[in-house]
Structure 1
Amino acid sequence: MSGNGLISSIRSMIHADERLRSNTQSPFEQLRPQMNDVLGDGGILKEVVQLGEGPPVPQNASVLIHYSGFLEYSDRPFETTTGFKYPRMMKLGRDVTLAGLELGLLTMKKGEFSRFLFQPQYAYGEMGCPPFIPSSAVVLYEVQILDYLDSGQVDDFIEMSPEEQNTAPLSTLLEVVNTQRSFGNRCFNQSRYDNAKDRYKQALMLLGNRETQSDAEKEKIKIALLPLYLNLSLTELRLDSPHKALKYSNKALEIDSANTKALFRCGQAYLELHEYESAQDCLISAQAKKPFDSDINNLLRKVAICYKDSLDKQKDMYSKMFRDLKCPMKI
C-alpha cells in the first residue's frame, strides 16, 4: 500500500490558492460524500478502496496492518508504517490506542484497504498531540489489513483452569493451537526466533495438558503436534542449538517415521554436530522419499564433502602420530 495514496488522488484539491477561496470545499469535505458513516454519529467515516475477504476482524484480535495518518492539506503523513518491511502485530485493546482506528479495524476484512475520517473525539481530542497534531483536528487514516489472528480466543482459553480446558471441545483447543503456531510463524519469518519458540512451546504445552479420552482424539492431537515439532526443530537450528533441534526432529519421527522434513532436520542437526555418518543416514532416507528434492540433495553433497574432509584430517593426524612413534628416543 502506498502511504501517499490519498495525496495522489486529491493533490489538485490542496493548491494554496484554492484554500483561500471561501466557496471551495476543503479536501476532507470533498471526501465525505463518498464515505459511509460507521457509527451513525458522523464521527467515523469510511471509504473502502479495495475489498477484503472472509469475516471481519474479531474483538481482541491481533492485527498486522499498514497505516498512514494525514492532516488536512498535508502532503506527508504524520505517522506511517509503510517504511517497515515487517510491521509489528498489534493487539486490539492494548496496542491500538486511537479509538477511531480500533473501531474502524473491527469493520475490516483481511486484505481490505480503506480510508477513514476521524472526528477529534475518535482521534486526538481537543488537546491534539503537539507538535504534530493540532487541537480538535480531524484526521484521515489509510489502512490495509495484511492479516489478523484471533488472539482473543487464545487469551480466553489460556485463562481457563486446567479442568475447564479439558472439558472444552477439542476443536476449540486445536483452533487455539493453530493460532499460536501462526503467531510463531509470524515471529519466525521476522527472524524473532526466541519469540517464535515461545509460541510453539506454549502450543505444545496446551496439547500436552489435554487428557484425551478416545483413540480418535489422540490421533488428532498427534496430527497437531507434528508441525509444532518440525517448527521447533528448525527454530532451534536458527538459534544454534542442534541438540535441541535433533530432539524435536526425533519426536516428529516418532509420530511419522517417514516424514521427509523431520529426516531433513535430523540431517541438518547431525551436520552441525559433526556426526556425518548419522547425517548421511537421515538424508539418504529422506532422499529415498523425495529423490529430486534439491534441498535434500544439496545438503547430502555438503555432508559428503564434510565427511571426506573429516576423514582426511583424521588420516593425517594418525599418520603424524605413527611417524612420531617411529622416531628414536634421544638420550
Structure 2
Amino acid sequence: MEAEIWCLPEVKIGNHGLRKRVLHKGNSWKTPFPGDEVEVRYTLRLKDGEFFDSSHDKGTPFKFRLGQGEVIRGWDEGIATMKKGERAIFTVPPEMAYGEIGSPPTVPPNATLIFDIEMVSWYSIRDITGDGGILKKIMREGEGWATPKDADEVLVKYVASTEDGIIVSKSDEELEFSLTDGYLCPAMSKAVKTMRKGEKAELSVKFSYCSRYPGDAHCNNDITATNSKLTIDLELLSWKNVIDVMGDKKILKKVIKMGDGFDRPTEGSLAKVIYIGRKDDGTIFECKGTPEEPFEYICLEEQINEGLDRAVMTMRKGEQATVKVSSEFLHGTENGKWPPTASVLYEIMLINFAKEKSFWKMDTQEKLEACQSKKSDGNALFKAGRFELASKKYEKASKYIEFDHSFNDDEKSLASSLLSSCSLNNAACKLKLGKYFEASRLCTKVLEVDPCCVKALFRRSQSYLRTSDLEKAEADIKRALAIDPNNREVRLVYQELKDKKRQYFRQEAEIFTNMLSSMG
C-alpha cells in the first residue's frame, strides 16, 4: 500500500519545495480562502521516520484559520489548494515547517515533514470592516447572488450573546427592519448587506461595533457595558427591495411583488395602474382604478402626484409596491395644507403600460402627425395656464421633425412651418415662466429662417425688455413696426419701452445730481 501511494503523481505548490500527492479527490470545485476557518484530520511523521502526531488520536478534527499564521507555512499554502472531502500527502521542506531550529523534542532541526491530510470542511470567514471589528463566519451558504442594498427591508432571525454565553437579545420569531434605520447594533446592518437569501452566519463583533442605534431598546442587558466581544447567530430569511427613486430619500419605493421583464415606462407612456393613497394615520385620501378597470394616465403630465408618477417609471409590468412620498410632492394632492414633515404612502400595482413609438421608428408622415398632435396638446395646456408642461410638449413636438433630412419638398415646407410655430409657442411659455434668455434664443432660431417674422421679433423684444437690454429691444420693435406698422401688440410694447427709457433717464439724472451735490 505504501508503495502504491508513492507511485501516485506529485505536483509542486509554489517555488519553495512544497509537494502534494492526491490520494482521494474532493467532491466540490471550491477551495478555502485566507481567513476561512478550516477543519482537517491529519497524521504527521518525519521523512523516513515514524508517525508521531495525529488528530485521529484526539477524536476531533483540528481547526484553524487559514493564512493567519496559526500553523506552519506549508499548511497555509498547501491546504489552500484542497477541496472538501479531499485527502492528500504533503511533503513539507524545512523552510516551510520549523526550519533550522525545529520544534524540540519531537521535530529536529532542518526536518522535512510528511503530512497525510483530509479536508473535512471549512467555514468562510469575512472581515466585513477590514479591521477585524466584525468577522462573519458563513455556517450555511445562501441562494443566488443578490444581497440587500442600503435602503432595503430585511427579514431575519438572530440570537446575540456575550463571550460567556449570556443571551443579550434575540428575535422570538421572524424580525423585519429597515437597513436605513438599523436594529440592535451597527454590526447587524453591516453584516446582513453581505448575505444572500437563506444564508446563516455567525458574527464575532468587537465592542466598538456593539453600540446600539439611538432609540433601540431590544436588549435584555446593556451590550455596551462590557468590553467583551458579542456573538450574533444571524439568518437572512428574505428582503424587500427599497428604491430611493430620486436619490434624496424623498420618494422611497418598496417592492412587494416583482414585475415581469425588464422594460419600464418612460415619459409619455400610457400607464394602467391601481393605487390607494393613505395619510400617516392610515386614512385613505385617494383611490384610483380597479382590477376590472385600471386608471389610465400619461407619465409625467401632472395627472397624478409627481412623486408617485416618478416611482411608477421605475416599475415593471405586474409589479406591486408601496411608495412613500415626502411633503414637497403633496401640493395639490387634496384640499388643505400638509404639515412640512408630512408624508403619504401609496399602495400601487402597475397593470400594464404602452410606450410612445420612438421617432426614429416613424416614417415622415407619422413624424409630422406626431408633431401636430404634441403641438395641439401644448396649446391646450397653455390655455389652461400650465406653462411648464406646455413647454415640454412643444419641445417634444420639435424633436420629431427638427433633424429629419428625408422629407420631400411639400413635407419640408410643412415641417418648417410647424417647427417655427412650436418655437414661437415655446417662447411664449418661457416668457410666462420668466425664462427670458431661453425665450430670446427660441425667437432667434425662428428669425434665422424667417427674418421678417413679426411674432418672433415681438417676443424677443419682450425678452430683451425684461432683461433691461433696451437697445436690442428697441431694434426688434422698430423692425417689427417697419414690417407691420399697425400691429397693436407691438405698439403697446413700444410704449412700454419708451416709459422704461424715461424712467432710466430720470434715475440717471438723480444719481448725477447727487454726485455733484456731494462734490460741492
Higher-Rg structure is 2
Q: Relative to total residues, which structure has the larger helix share, 1 or 2? A: 1
* TM-score calculated relative to the size of structure 2: 0.31
* TM-score calculated relative to the size of structure 1: 0.48
Higher relative contact order (CA 8 A, sep 6+): 1
